[in-house]
Amino acid sequence: MYTINDAIDDLNHAKDISVNSNFLPDDRLIVHYEQSTGFTFSDDYKKLLKNTGNVFVGFLSLLVLNPNGEEHYGELKNAIREGREIGLPESWLPICEDNSDYYCLTPNGEIRFWSHDGDVDEKWADLATWVKEVWLEGN
């Protein structure tokens, strides 16, 4: 079984990786974001954020948690607000933005693709599978 630890290792050793200057979040910042967004982050999502929150592979990266509280393009709270304005389900937590569309963590642990253009039925069983099939192999 492919795990989140496998996904983190594969991301950190990807051939087309680039690392940006974004701050990797710690537990305190993650708790702040959970409280301010109303979401409880899964353990796998927390681990992924803390280990690959500043990694780009191809053209994808996770939405960032900003320690300065600034909301900007690519930042989680901004994506939640903008996504909801265009119809993103309230219970879906966007984790990655792709051209105004979002990959989202759902309450049951699936990753769902949400498009501003309408219904899409793309989904992945869990975060590790999404990392492998979309973030690593889709680029």
Convert the pLDDT of each residue in 5-52 to its tens digit. Answer: 999 999 989 888 888 767 799 999 999 999 999 999 999 999 999 999
Give the pLDDT of residue 21.
67
Tell me, what's the pLDDT at 118? 83
Secondary structure of 19-71 in HEC code, one letter for each residue:
ECCCCCCCHHHHHHHHHHHCCCCCHHHHHHHHHHCCEEECCECCCECCCCCCC
**Residue the block writes with tokens 């796998």:** 44
Residue in the structure block whose two tokens are 């948690």: 65
The per-residue pLDDT for range 40-98, each reduced to its tens digit, is 999 999 999 999 998 989 889 999 998 887 777 889 999 999 999 999 999 999 999 99
Who wins on pLDDT, 92 or 139? Answer: 92
Q: Do residues 124 and 136 touch, judged by C-beta distance below 8 A?
A: no
